[in-house]
Every structure is written in structure tokens, then in C-alpha cells.
Structure 1
């Protein structure tokens, strides 16, 4: 079982403003905060999400091939989350639309530190 996922940031306060707004769409709330890290919890999951300034004091960097996936309950939330992310300063990595011959709908973007995220909706079969 995964306890939590962590992404690095070089500006924790700016990242908190970004993720507070984005993750609110998914029902997430801050559950712990220090001057180094903030943790979010989701209503229907035991897995947490954290953003942190690197503890080693070096610059936070995004991982090539690293991506955080947020599961949406419908296509409308995929669009809403993508539009909000772009309005908050995200870089587009793939506009909302069907993927894998229509098997699911997804939108890809990078947060303010360059971390890649996807919001997706896959209908239950």
C-alpha cells in the first residue's frame, strides 16, 4: 500500500496556493503543514499527497518519466481541473480529450515547478 506521494517545490507558499485550489476539486484538504512540507488527504483514499522543499537544500527538479495521476469521476472535472491549472500558470502537456481510442479522457499539464500531472476519467466497464 502506498502511504503518500511527494513532489518537490522551490516555492512552498506558491505551490500551496496552487495545490489548495487544484486539489479542492478532488475533495482534498490539507492535513499537515510545516515550513518544509504540506500534506493533503483525499476523502475516499488512504493515500496522501505532499509537496515539499527538498530536505537536502538543493533545487527541486521534476523527474523525467515521473507523473502524478488524479482520477476524476467524470469528463467535466477533467476539463475543469485542466482549465484551472492553466489559469494558475500550468504549462499544457496535452489538452483534454479522448485517449487510447476513446478508452478514457485525459488532460496533461505541468505544475509551477515543472512536475507533470494528468487528470483522467475512465468509465467503469
Structure 2
């Protein structure tokens, strides 16, 4: 249903390095790099994350209420991805924890450009 999600960034090299390192343990890598936009994922046939500098040349702005949610596969993997994101330069926007008892475990960060990410596990 989703082909890719695009996040606007100010520094392509930094964004590609951040997301390649962050998502590498999940099998993701830069699949296609077209200069101002790069696609990161497991394959071109699965949902991907794209990072790009805005087409209009204006500064990127993280959306208020926009968030990319990534399911790494377990609560332990949520914790690990959160820790890795912080080590790679993300800022905390909500430490890992059970948000809804027995239903939703999550952690939240802002990437170096301010885009909000969630790492989550249902159950």
C-alpha cells in the first residue's frame, strides 16, 4: 500500500549516513541515489524511506503531526533502535516504554533535521 515515505533534509550526505546506519541492522541500505533524493530500504519492491532536499530549493521543515513509524520486530529492538538513533545524533522525543498496557510499546526521536520517528511494537 505504501511505496515510500519522503523526509525533507538539509544535508543529503548526513541524512544518508544517519538512515543507512540506523536501519542497516534491519536490512536497509541506499538502493537508489539520484543526487537530491535517495531511497533507502530492503528492496525496490518493498516500502522505502526517501530523503531529499526540497525541490523548490527552500529550507526543509519537519511537519507538525507528521511522523514515520518503524516496527523493528520486538520491544528489545525498539530499545536498541532508539539507543542507536541517539548515538547517531537524533534527539529524544519520548524514551522507550509501554504507552498502552499490553497493546503498544514505543520510543520517539527527532532526526538531525527535526523529522519525528517512532519505533514501536504492538502487544
Measured against the shorter chain, the TM-score band is over 0.9
Specify the alignment match of 1:111 in structure 2: 111
Name the CA distance, whole Å, in 1 between partners of 2:116 and 2:37: 19
Name the CA distance, whole Å, in 2 between partners of 1:2 and 1:103: 24
Instruction: Please tell me whether the aligned partners of residues 16 and 30 of structure 2 are also in contact (alpha carbons under 8 angstroms).
Output: no
State the TM-score, normalizing by the size of structure 1: 0.91
**4+ runs of 1 displaced by more than 6 Å?**
none
Specify the alignment match of 1:22 in structure 2: 22
State the TM-score, normalizing by the size of structure 2: 0.93
* Residue 25 of structure 1: how far off its partner (Å): 2.5
SS at match of 2:31: strand
- The runs of 5 or more residues in structure 2 that have no matched partner are none
SS at match of 2:85: helix
* Residue 96 of structure 1: how far off its partner (Å): 0.5
Name the CA distance, whole Å, in 2 between partners of 1:25 and 1:119: 14
| Aligned positions, number | 122
CA-atom RMSD in angstroms: 1.3
Instruction: Please tell me whether the aligned partners of residues 68 and 117 of structure 1 are also in contact (alpha carbons under 8 angstroms).
Output: yes
- Within 5 Å, give how 1:1-125 maps onto structure 2: 1-42=1-42, 46-123=46-123
SS at match of 1:25: helix
